[in-house]
Chain A
């Protein structure tokens, strides 16, 4: 297979994985909601509802606001979904089965996460609407606060691998997973993961207390795209968590890719359950905890992990 055909297959595979992931998140979220609330499970409805509501949103009429920045408004969901795809492309399914493995995979993934704040800010700023703008500023504060603990939590996984390549990071966990080696890493990463895709308790920019925040003016297809992009980002964050902390493809009996999927689903379960079990926190509280607790904890995590390797 030529170089170009291989690249095309890899891009198509990442796109297909994201689409499947978005549908899975929609179903899994409803399933967890029903379990938490003790409602009886209606499988056919559970499986069909995401498709039905997507179809409805796709054909609904689209509203617009007075003097919006239309290109930026259209760009925001596409940028967000594209960043989720970039992040997911870095996650290896097996030692030789990865969309792309640049020597600086960790930095590429971090850059994608950092650009999310631009996508969300643009999305809230462009409709020229008060609540949407409030949401955008909230995410600005939220993103600038979680960025440092996120980078530090991920950086600690780079130390045992002595490489910025994600494949090497997974490879270095053959004998001991990072979740054991760096006990503070995964909890930190999960808190930040919920914040990145602003889900559940950290859904501050799109919260219902702002009548929908940055997506208050969205309608029809653009609402569908924004929701899908958020779910896609959650999938990418969970998949990277499985690779960086839960040993990726390493595991007994089953094949490597199966383990990656199972671990991703497990982390998705934790991330989604947070939305049904925890109350939403206030932005001031989150910013305070980020700077006063999470950053020192993440620094400590890096120092301790580094000291063990000396």
Chain B
């Protein structure tokens, strides 16, 4: 693949990622926000593949598909917004959010211009995926296993808390089904 084509593909992915990333906050639906975020991540995955990190790029896309769907469904459940179909504002504390977002974008985007990068091109690894596997299960095994066990225990903890017969007794104790009759909720 020649450099011009590689550049064109990079800019297409980069522009797509930034645009969809921006759309996450400009849309009025949780579902659309989740799927725009997925598209943004898919673009980053494409850039990773372009950089030679084939495995990481594809795994990013693979994991994000399930993750975004779960996130969207959980958001809909917590926000009491049936199916995420009702329009809603995706940003809280609007001015602070815009300032923080713009500030961190400028900061991160200015890094390539401020930092002096080493000027010696790294050799393209022959077997990038195999080297990654050796790294994960070799020198860095303790780090990754620790992170893995921590995540697993978090998941088990979340399941225990969310369970019906949870830590603080039966979950729906004292709760009432919402009524569909207008005004009836006020009398409770």
**Are A147 and B58 within 8 A (Cβ)?**
no
Does A306 lie at the interface of the complex (its beta carbon under 8 Å from any beta carbon of B)? no
Majority DSSP secondary structure for residues of B touching A: helix
Does B55 lie at the interface of the complex (its beta carbon under 8 Å from any beta carbon of A)? yes
Q: Which of A107, A117, A164 contacts B66 (CB 8 A)?
A: A117
The bracket for how many chain B residues form the interface is: 20 to 34
**Are A107 and B73 within 8 A (Cβ)?**
no
Which of A115, A118, A147 counts the most chain B CB atoms within 10 A? A118
Given contacts A115-B61, A118-B38, A125-B83, contact A144 B54 (CB under 8 A): no
**Are A121 and B69 within 8 A (Cβ)?**
yes
Q: Which of A69, A104, A118 contacts B69 (CB 8 A)?
A: A118
Does B31 lie at the interface of the complex (its beta carbon under 8 Å from any beta carbon of A)? yes
**Residue ID in chain B nearest A115 by CB atoms:** B65
The bracket for how many chain A residues form the interface is: 20 to 34
B32 contacts across to A, CB distance below 8 A: 69, 72
Fill in one digit per residue for B16-59: 1 if any A CB lies within 8 Å of its CB, else 0: 00000000000001011001001000000000000000110011
Does B14 lie at the interface of the complex (its beta carbon under 8 Å from any beta carbon of A)? no
A122 contacts across to B, CB distance below 8 A: 35
Does B85 lie at the interface of the complex (its beta carbon under 8 Å from any beta carbon of A)? yes
A108 contacts across to B, CB distance below 8 A: 58
Q: Which of A69, A104, A125 contacts B58 (CB 8 A)?
A: A104
A107 contacts across to B, CB distance below 8 A: 55, 58-59, 62
Q: Which residues of B contact A (CB under 8 A)?
A: 1, 29, 31-32, 35, 38, 54-55, 58-59, 61-63, 65-66, 68-70, 73, 83-85, 127-129
Can you report 7 residue pairs joining A to B where beta carbons are below 8 Å apart?
A3-B1, A69-B32, A103-B127, A107-B55, A108-B58, A114-B61, A164-B129
* Given A104-B58, A107-B59, A111-B61, 17 more pairs with CB closer than 8 A: A102-B54, A103-B54, A103-B55, A103-B127, A107-B62, A111-B59, A111-B62, A111-B65, A115-B65, A117-B69, A118-B38, A118-B65, A125-B83, A128-B85, A140-B73, A143-B66, A164-B55
